[in-house]
Amino acid sequence: TTTPDALGVSGLTAGYGRFDVIHDISLRVARGEAVALLGPNGAGKTTILRAIMGMLRHKHGTIRIDANDISGLPAHKIARGHVALVPEGRRLFLNQTVEDNLRLGGLHLRGDRAATERLLSSVFELFPVVERYRTRPATALSGGEQQMVAIGRMMMSDPKLMLLDEPSLGLAPLAIQDMARALITLRERGQSILLVEQRVDLALQVCDRVYVVNGGRIVRESAASEIDAAGRELIDAYLG
């Protein structure tokens, strides 16, 4: 028997109100695979993530998580079925401590201390800086450190699939490298990842496969290893 994909999207059309933004999207993330969605501004990448999370109207198509059809389920049920979204802009509770922000990601554990501590220590192991600042208010951290807290909060839900929307946005170059290393480690731990990125270099460093999105459609799919310098230039040109 073959292992079911962490994510299987087939023929997905969705949008806002009566207006379709993504059309006939089919993509997959195998279990333990990291996959990137690349594309210019407005291509529909965020909309794909939001449709998978059940956050907007879903018109056609099916979405499977680990062989379970979640199409049309409300967002809170999809989250409980272990899909976690790290949204663009992080959305931390800035006046709360780092640790309280992390614990908020583990609310579904309903006070299971052992499980909570196990997940907290796996976050701290991946992000030592997050542990060092655990008692500080999130607002005292740099953008890169806050992004690590946002990812850590999602790790607290022990997701089957992690969706990340432009984690490098607004970060300094060194922080972007730290972010890339953290994502590579997450993937090495077996986390299935779907990553939206504007930075082709980061996506290729972290991911096994990429899809290029434009005009709400998938226009290209490729293994990261198949993209040579020329292909990279082509994608860069595509992204403007």
Nearest distance, CB of residue 111 and ligand ATP, angstroms: 36
Q: Is the dihedral of CA 102, 204, 216, 68 positive or negative?
A: negative
174: which 2 tokens? 């060194």
Nearest distance, CB of residue 45 and ligand ATP, angstroms: 4
Taking a C-beta distance cutoff of 8 angstroms, is the pair 210, 224 a contact? yes
Q: Specify the residue for token string 């979640």.
A: 70
Backbone angles phi, psi at 202, to 5 degrees: -65, -45
Residue 136 DSSP SS3:
coil
Taking a C-beta distance cutoff of 8 angstroms, is the pair 232, 200 a contact? yes
Nearest distance, CB of residue 235 and ligand ATP, angstroms: 14
Backbone angles phi, psi at 58, to 5 degrees: -120, 115
Nearest distance, CB of residue 17 and ligand ATP, angstroms: 7
Determine if 58 is a binding residue for ligand ATP (CB under 6 A). no
If the CB atoms of residues 12 and 120 are measured against ligand ATP, the closer one turns out to be: 12
For β-strands 209-214 and 34-38, DSSP reports them as parallel
Nearest distance, CB of residue 64 and ligand ATP, angstroms: 21
If the CB atoms of residues 25 and 119 are measured against ligand ATP, the closer one turns out to be: 25
If the CB atoms of residues 45 and 119 are measured against ligand ATP, the closer one turns out to be: 45
- CA torsion 204-47-3-206 (nearest 10°) is 20
Nearest distance, CB of residue 148 and ligand ATP, angstroms: 21
If the CB atoms of residues 41 and 225 are measured against ligand ATP, the closer one turns out to be: 41
Determine if 90 is a binding residue for ligand ATP (CB under 6 A). no
Give the span between the Cα atoms of 224 and 210, in whole angstroms: 6
Determine if 47 is a binding residue for ligand ATP (CB under 6 A). yes
Stretch that binds ligand ATP, among 45-53, 98-106, 118-126, 217-225 (CB under 6 A): 45-53
Neighbours of 107 (CB within 10 A): 11
Q: Which of residues 5-44 bind ligand ATP (CB under 6 A)?
A: 16, 21, 39, 41-44
Give the span between the Cα atoms of 89 and 43, in whole angstroms: 18
Binding-site size, ligand ATP (CB under 6 A):
10
If the CB atoms of residues 59 and 103 are measured against ligand ATP, the closer one turns out to be: 59
The contact set with ligand ATP (CB under 6 A) reads 16, 21, 39, 41-47
